[in-house]
Structure 1
């Protein structure tokens, strides 16, 4: 889930100790378990409301709660966004997943006061071949952009370098996806949204220095068309103004004295970061 207006909710960047990062790791792995449940459940004909209940079942199995429901009165456990829905799609029993849909699923958990938050996207099998190939391209580029951002957190010196790396990667493609600037990544810890904002595009400012103890959610959102968007009457669902598809991926990453550790991945991000020559370093679990 994103900071709603692009601004984080706290006033200073919190640095976390090892034990606090381990608590976030537990929450982040619950979110990963939700992702696994959703991957296994999604198919043509299922409603987004049913998928939301899959997430709730996983949370209850782990003794955790969603950090989405009730957040500024948000009414569901997850955000499930199909096709032209950019972010904050509210699950519903009347919204049915169709073959070929591009579905982004943003999920969170809070356990013992510490937060997990990450997102992934899938293209539902079936449907028109040309359309699904286009959607899979957008999904693959968005996922890869996320990992480029994670790698930058490991190798660069400032928070703004993450957005610079994502921007450089995305703009290397032809046709070039649109980078959504209205929603950002964020710090996380004892609240879901904390400083600093983590942009997905380059700016003149490199932002605050990356320091051990930071835990960031890196979450590019890309569109096949333009980034202009409209929020619907429900106050949450945000759609692309031109009707183009959108895609969202998010990883929760800790920086500590010995390296980075992707809290939202069971292997700490090892497989995805290997092509970058980066080996994540876990803290003692």
Structure 2
């Protein structure tokens, strides 16, 4: 069931989403050669707690960390362990969620460690971020959920990359994952009608190669089945009468 949010609820979601944006901005300053993913986890957790908020991922379905840190062929849900040491040229997706005053915010960003190793890696990150922008442009009253996915898919595939099919965006609010599901692929003019008051987490996950995925033995980390690199960007947005507004941006 889709819940349309009141102005008061939207303000609370925005507050949580802004804390997520702060975390991602802060994390970006520390991503460099030799830093471990656990260093990022510690920094993020300290900041969230300092803001009197709760790390939304930690304990969610028994997930053990505050962040998801996914490197290169890891798409999502990567563990931020001390053994995962970043090196120059790595693509690092950092996904963060925050709970404050009963409402969630959720966002993700892909960083590069120091500089890109290849032009294709740079293109992958740029295309993924642009596809998020294009999806958000379609998130407006009267459009349908399929319009979001179609915009993302058409742009990504025209650039020679693949849209991950097994994992999708979602509604967000009093729960971290709410209805509706928001695939990053689809057919224009299909799906649920978008209405003011919806709060959505749109999150394209894009692969350099095929879209097939696998889950590592830890039960969480999702990787590309063919071993190619992936990128991931996400924003929490609200649908308003005139269009959409990004809540997880400083």
| TM tier relative to shorter chain | over 0.9
Normalised by the length of structure 1, the TM-score is 0.85
Q: 2:230 aligns with which of 222, 246, 253?
A: 246
For structure 2, which runs of at least 5 residues remain unmatched after alignment? Answer: none
The equivalent of 1:121 in structure 2 is: 110
- For the residue of structure 2 that corresponds to 1:79, the secondary structure is strand
Pairing 1:104-253 to 2, within 5 Å after superposition:
104-126=93-115, 131-154=117-140, 157-173=143-159, 176-203=160-187, 206-253=190-237
Counterpart CA distance in 1 for 2:203 and 2:97 is 13
Question: Could you say if the C-alpha distance between residues 132 and 54 of structure 1 is closer, same or farther in structure 2, counting changes exceeding 3 Å?
Answer: farther
Deviations 1:187-241 (Å, cap 9, x if unpaired)? 0000000000001001477111001110111100000001111101110011111
Normalised by the length of structure 2, the TM-score is 0.97
Contact in 2 for aligned 1:184/1:220 (Cα 8 Å): yes
Deviation at 1:154, TM superposition (A): 3.0
The answer on 1:44 being equivalent to 2:33 is: yes
Deviations 1:98-120 (Å, cap 9, x if unpaired)? 00000000001000000000000
Contact in 2 for aligned 1:123/1:132 (Cα 8 Å): no
Of Structure 1 and Structure 2, the greater strand share is in 2
Q: 1:30 aligns with which of 19, 32, 36?
A: 19
For structure 1, which runs of at least 5 residues remain unmatched after alignment? Answer: 1-11, 267-285
The equivalent of 1:66 in structure 2 is: 55
Contact in 2 for aligned 1:85/1:238 (Cα 8 Å): yes
Counterpart CA distance in 2 for 1:40 and 1:98 is 15
